[in-house]
Amino acid sequence: MTSERKRAANRQNSARSTGPYTAQGKARVSRNALRHGLAAITVKDPTVSIEIDNLATAICGKNADPAIRARALIIAESQLTLLKARTFRVEAIEWISPMLREQKSDPPPSAPPSAQGAASDQSRKQQSGLPVVV
């Protein structure tokens, strides 16, 4: 159970940790998440910035209200970030798939006969071109 002293310290600390007060501070921290990860790629690459702008124009039109345009830009940026994430995921799966197939195709020597049968079933499926569920 938390002591009264710890609760008082927590209340005091939380009163000081309320985030930015000014409009400038709020604007600065509103994009903090773009410093890391896939989203950082979209902001820094001018080619992607053009792509984001084109997608936003397709979403809201050329003569859209600035507030609607800002929302369309957020949607377009998010869409392209998701597309990049999906692309990276597919590339990772394609890169690791051959290694997984090698591990799964040969059962270990101490495997029971039922495991050996399952492995040979997978080998037959791979050879037939059918998708193998791992």
Q: What is the pLDDT of residues 37-88, one digit of tens each?
A: 655 655 667 788 899 999 999 999 999 999 999 999 999 988 988 888 888 8
How large is the C-alpha radius of gyration of the chain? 26
Contacts of 132 (CB under 8 A, 6+ apart): 101, 122, 125, 126
Residue predicted with more confidence, 92 or 129? 92
- On average, the pLDDT of the chain sits at 77
Q: How many residues does the chain have?
A: 134
The pLDDT of residue 110 is: 63
Domain positions in the chain are: 26-121
Structure tokens, 130: 């059918």
pTM: 0.45
The pLDDT of residue 18 is: 78
3-state class of 133 per DSSP? coil
Q: What is the pLDDT of residues 93-127, one digit of tens each?
A: 888 888 777 776 655 556 555 544 555 555 555 55
Distance CA 13, CA 5 (A): 12
Of 119, 125, 117, which is closest to residue 102 (Cα–Cα)?
119
Distance CA 35, CA 15 (A): 27
